[in-house]
Amino acid sequence: MEHQNIGNVMIFLALVTPGLALLIGYGLRRSVEEGGASTSRLRRNVWILGAAGPANLLLWLVLNGLLDGLGWRSVVGYVLAALTFVAAGLATGFLARLFSDLRGRRRLKGESESRDTRE
């Protein structure tokens, strides 16, 4: 793919993912209002989806500026770019899991304290 085509795809994703997240969030809210299960994981994933496109575009622009400035338009530069995006994806997943676990522990701690006060 040409450099400009990749840039256009990144801009398209940066514009589409927040809109898609809004639609999914609206559908999730309607489902909860109609008595469906409310899950924090789904809401968290909607937020991640909404932020993923603009964050990837920002990362793409920064990385392109860095690679252009260093003159690394070669295989080494593209491997570095791929590793950067893989690392960003792994970090996002790790942090989402970490914050999810922390919220779950707080919720469990609150439930056990409320049971203690009832008894």
Give the domain extent around 32.
Answer: 3-118
Tally of structural domains, the chain: 1
Q: pLDDT grade, residue 82 (50/70/90)? A: confident
Residue 52: partners with Cβ closer than 8 Å, 6 or more residues away: 13, 17, 92
Residue 119, pLDDT score: 53
Residue 117 has pLDDT above 60, yes or no: no
Question: 20 near 49, Cβ under 8 Å?
Answer: yes
Residue 113, pLDDT score: 54
CA-CA distances (angstroms) from residue 117 to 51, 104, 110? Answer: 41, 20, 11
What are the tens digits of pLDDT across the range 36-62?
Answer: 555 677 777 788 888 888 988 888 888
The model carries a pTM of 0.60
Residue 111, pLDDT score: 55
Residue 12, pLDDT score: 93
Question: CA nearest 50: which of 90, 13, 98?
Answer: 13
